[in-house]
Amino acid sequence: MLSLRLARGSRPAVLLRRALVVVAAAAASFLLLCALGFAAGHPTEPRGGVARLLWCVVPLAATIHLTVTVARADPGTRPSSGLSAVGLGPVRSALLAATGAALSCAAGSGLALLTFLHLRGGFGGSWLLWAGSGAAGRALGAGRPLPLAGAITLVALVPVVAGAVCAAVLWPRATGDGRTTADARPGTTPTVATGAVGPLPDRTASGLPWGIALTAAGLALEAYAGSGAAPRHDALFHLPGRLGDTPPGAVGGWALTMAGLVLAGPGLTHLCGWLLAVGRPGALRLLAGRVLQQEAGLIGRPVGVLCAIASSGYAVARLGGTGSGRSGDQLLGPLTVLGAALVVVCALATTLTAALEARAARRRTTDALLRLGAPSRLLRGAAAVRAAALVALLSPLTLAVAHLTTLPVSH
């Protein structure tokens, strides 16, 4: 009840982010239910249902990432004197944020279930079945009984996982300087610099070697798997178009490469800030570099996700084409477009939310600089320099990784 009251009294921007979480959860749950419907409608093709369920992992991860970012940036769940006065300390505030995230995802999962049942004709027919040839109904398993336990499990999967991950991420921990991670959340404590909005710069940069190693391991696995024989047409990870010639080992190498880009995101962001402030910089470069280093722990991971998505999009555009695969499955079918759009929208929304959270964290520093006489154009110029530096550093890196990813398959 308290979560609903806090949601009702939130600002429009906060409500918009929560509505986006509801839509993302609905899309992810709908994709999971579509995989279940295909398995129910095609009992003789168990590999197809399992493969569709496995490909739902990426949209599910994007949805969970967005949910955690929105819950962390929600001002209604941050520790405050008012909440502490009524017994809501850091632990209960984390549980409150997790409960709110789970409720938002549960609303989206309910909408997805209703939409899925309507498209299958469970409510007396569907406009898709009337307007078309019934291909949508066959893909969703229309006319076949839906396993009740499987449907309940998949509907509850997104809310349960989102709530558990939010509670684990927001749970207060000691930071080593006598404070907890809840005290270091943006907006909870005044700071001299730009605010403790993420891991310390040295801890943030420490993840860069691991990200590079994981990316290199993924590229090596792709090269090794790509030199082998082509997969059978009845393989579990058979893909349509030219992607159908991709060996399963290359798919695993691609996953490792993308995970390495995400892991290296904070370190690359910190490195970009260090390059801006290296040497004898002026006020503009110094301010842009120091802020980028301080905020690397907050915006670095979403930036790494964007790089991974851009690299994957390049690979699909280069290798995909418009061919058809087994059973007439086209590469750019409606469910594929829905999943890709969900991942892209979640990544963009997560990056924007993290940027707004970082901006709110350094508001005290911005006000102090303005009181000291710093021109507002200096702050706008520093923001533009940070964005340009990230694009200049990460764009060629992402393009190079994407090109190396496609080499084993294209040759």
Give dist(CA 136, CA 122) in Å, integer.
13
* Average pLDDT, rounded, for the chain: 78
- Residue 197's pLDDT is what? 45
- What residues contact residue 246 under an 8 Å CB cut-off, 6+ apart? 231, 237, 239, 319, 409
Which stretches within 87-206 are classed as H helix?
90-119, 127-131, 135-139, 148-170, 201-205
Question: How far does Cα 297 stand from its chain's mean position?
Answer: 16
How many Å apart are CA 114 and CA 123, to the nearest integer?
9
Cα–Cα distances (Å) from 94 to 58, 73, 200, 219, 403, in that order, read 26, 12, 21, 38, 42
- 346-370 burial: b if 16+ Cβ within 10 Å, else e: bbebbbebbbebbeebbebbeeebe
- Under DSSP, the state recorded for 349 is H
In the prediction, which pLDDT does 86 show? 58
Chain centre distance of CA 111: 21
215 burial type by CB count under 10 A (0-12 exposed, 13-18 middle, 19+ buried): buried
Tokens describing residue 373: 């006489």
Residue predicted with more confidence, 333 or 210: 210
**Per-residue DSSP letter, 173:** -
pLDDT-based confidence at 332, cuts 50/70/90? Answer: low
Q: Is the pLDDT assigned to residue 335 strictly greater than 60?
A: yes
pLDDT in tens, 69-99: 998 887 766 655 555 665 666 777 788 888 8
Average pLDDT score over residue span 327-335: 57
Residue 276 has pLDDT above 70, yes or no: yes
For the CA atoms of 254, 255, 261, 266, the dihedral, rounded to the nearest 10 degrees, stands at: 180
Tell me which of 234 and 226 has the higher pLDDT.
226
Q: pLDDT band for position 106 (50/70/90)?
A: very high
Q: pLDDT: is 1 or 220 the higher one? A: 220
Lowest-confidence segment of 125-139, 194-208, 289-303 by average pLDDT? 125-139
What would the mean pLDDT of 158-176 be, rounded to a whole number? 84
